[in-house]
Structure 1
Amino acid sequence: MTGLGRPRTLSERLWKVLDDLSMNTTVKLIFYSLSVVFFIFLILLPLILGILLKANLFWEIFAYPELMNRAKSAILWSFIIAFTVSTLDLIAGLPLAWFIVRSSSRWTKIVDSMADIPFIIPTAALGYSFLLFWSREEGISSLFGFDSLIPPGALLVMLLHFAFSFPVIVRVMVGELMNYREVYEVAAGTLGAQPFTIARTVTLPMLKPALVASFLLAFARSLSETGATVMVAGAFENGPVFIKNAKDAGLESPMVFVSSILIFLSIAIFFSIDIMGPRMRLPLRKVWPNFEKKLSSATAVKARNSLTFVVFLGLVILPSLFIALPAVQAVIDGTLIRAVRGVGPWSRFWESIT
């Protein structure tokens, strides 16, 4: 700033312009209006019109009992997996978020970055990596002498969904814990409460909106994922896999039926959790001083952190990155050089990219 209070650099002038615009009522009205228009015309209307235009096909599936049974099973499995995975993600992700924010370890930044790995891997590649890790001989199956430790199916889909929904929980809770004021925890500690008791009776109730939000985001991510799920599903079908199979078979009525049911049930569940979630009584008011003192000990904290990292590394990171091992082999056996030169089938690969 100059002596007269004027911004002297280009960046300062730009920030001043943005500040002035953000204070302008007309600009804010235009910005909010554009946001609403974007939501209505690019997100909401295509969803509604897509269903209404094919509404006449909704009832055709009832004439095919076998197809109807497959559709109902797929819908049920979608919600079972989404609810189970979101709950487990919350149980496993919250301790990791707590470690990232509250620990003084020098590894926290590395762990924080590693938690985003399932986010940055393309979903089809992530699904293939899980397939290699859990179901192929070159994966963890070889350690136990099995051809396939976990074959493609519901359990492998659940493990996959757990991994790619895990960062949602961690990222939301890390942000919330960083903005959380610890004054109430300090007050409770001053009154003699144990750390575990404080976390259970003070911190978690105040973080309840974030817990509900992260659960809903993980639930939605699990419910809608298709690309990675198809890679590990095998003969198993949840909603998205069933829709994909119906599309490949040229069957429109099953697609309309399952899509409509998934959309309307999801909306109902989301609104119910969003409304009822903040009203849930969390936690139990009763306190067990001796037991919670043991859970607050350094040994218990180390055990909790160790278990958290075993789950994080064993169920999230290693299966997600396992696909990188063939890349190392490609460097050794010369495949990488042939790929770069476009030799053989790699020429079609480069053509597809360009």
Structure 2
Amino acid sequence: MNWLDLSPAEWTAVHLSLKVAFWAMLASLPFGILFALLLARGRFWGHALLNGLVHLPLVLPPVVTGFVLLLVFGRRAPVGAFLADHFGIVFSFRWTGAALASAVMAFPLMVRAIRLSIEAVDRRLEVAAGTLGAHPVWVFVTVTLPLVMPGIIAGMVIAFAKAMGEFGATITFVSNIPGETQTLAAAIYTFTQVPGGDAGALRLTLVSVVIAMAALLVSELMARSVSRRIAAG
């Protein structure tokens, strides 16, 4: 069996990982832009505290993050029970929970990439647009946002890649259920725990490397395209 000859269960893990990573990235993107803007431009009491909270998942053990998510969003937890009873949204032991855990773990990396891009923007361009009568929101949409787009793309790719490889928080929060919450990382771990599972683990490892490299390549091409458009404009 070659490394491309994946079993149906392995293909399911690949598809689930792509779905989880995509929705984790997409759901965290607007919050990532908002918090990056607050941290880059905001001058308020509690700025250091907010910065620490945003980056907390980077320094906490992933298992701790997963356990906290279980305490907050578990089926019997206050927030989890409210969402389930009133909106039918269930996170614990579902693929949606895997996406939530992955988003939380990837969020600091996304915010950092976007924040650095915002801090690199020449504020004189925004001031010039403001002196012409443009509303601050319109200035952000038409001036700031295009300039920070390479950073946003980088943040999205970093978040996607982190979500693809997330393991500790995910397995703690939603367990390792084949077909429902078993992502690539969890499937690789499962293969390493059974006799003769090395071949399966190697196949999925190679798939993970290919997906990560493809994401980085697409990110680089998109960032260059955006940069060329900004320079031409």
| TM-score (norm. length: structure 2) | 0.83
The answer as to 2:192 corresponding to 1:247 is: yes
- Relative to structure 2, which stretch is displaced further, 87-96 or 69-78? 87-96
Change (3 A) 1:143 1:207: closer
- SS of corresponding position for 1:115: helix
Give the equivalent residue in structure 1 for 2:2.
58
- Tell whether the 8 Å contact from 2:105 to 2:166 is kept in structure 1 after alignment: no
Among candidates 215, 238, 248, match of residue 183 of structure 2: 238
Give the equivalent residue in structure 1 for 2:64.
125
After TM superposition, give the deviation of residue 105 of structure 1 in Å.
2.3
After TM superposition, give the deviation of residue 277 of structure 1 in Å.
3.6
Please tell me the residue identity of whatever aligns with 1:260: L
Among candidates 194, 216, 219, match of residue 270 of structure 1: 216
Change (3 A) 1:121 1:212: same
Q: Superposed, which structure 2 residues align to 1:81-100 within 5 Å?
A: 81-100=20-39
Structural RMSD (CA): 2.6
Q: Superposed, which structure 2 residues align to 1:69-84 within 5 Å?
A: 69-84=8-23
Residues 165-184 of structure 1: CA deviation (Å, up to 9, x unaligned)? 11112222223323332010
After TM superposition, give the deviation of residue 138 of structure 1 in Å.
4.9
Give the equivalent residue in structure 2 for 1:220.
161
Aligned partners of 1:269 and 1:173: how far apart in 2?
18
- SS of corresponding position for 1:150: coil
Among candidates 151, 157, 167, match of residue 210 of structure 1: 151
- Relative to structure 2, which stretch is displaced further, 175-184 or 114-123? 175-184
After TM superposition, give the deviation of residue 280 of structure 1 in Å.
4.7
- SS of corresponding position for 2:133: coil
After TM superposition, give the deviation of residue 157 of structure 1 in Å.
0.7
Give the equivalent residue in structure 2 for 1:313.
none
Give the equivalent residue in structure 2 for 1:110.
49
Residues 173-203 of structure 1: CA deviation (Å, up to 9, x unaligned)? 2233233320101111112222122111111
Change (3 A) 1:174 1:227: same
Change (3 A) 1:202 1:145: closer
**For structure 1, which runs of at least 5 residues remain unmatched after alignment?**
1-56, 284-354
- SS of corresponding position for 2:7: helix
Aligned partners of 2:10 and 2:90: how far apart in 1?
28
After TM superposition, give the deviation of residue 239 of structure 1 in Å.
0.6
- Tell whether the 8 Å contact from 2:20 to 2:163 is kept in structure 1 after alignment: yes
Count residues in correspondence.
Answer: 221
Give the structure with higher Rg (CA). Answer: 1
**For structure 2, which runs of at least 5 residues remain unmatched after alignment?**
none
Aligned partners of 2:84 and 2:29: how far apart in 1?
33
Please tell me the residue identity of whatever aligns with 1:266: A
Give the equivalent residue in structure 2 for 1:192.
133
Aligned partners of 1:87 and 1:143: how far apart in 2?
24
| TM-score (norm. length: structure 1) | 0.57
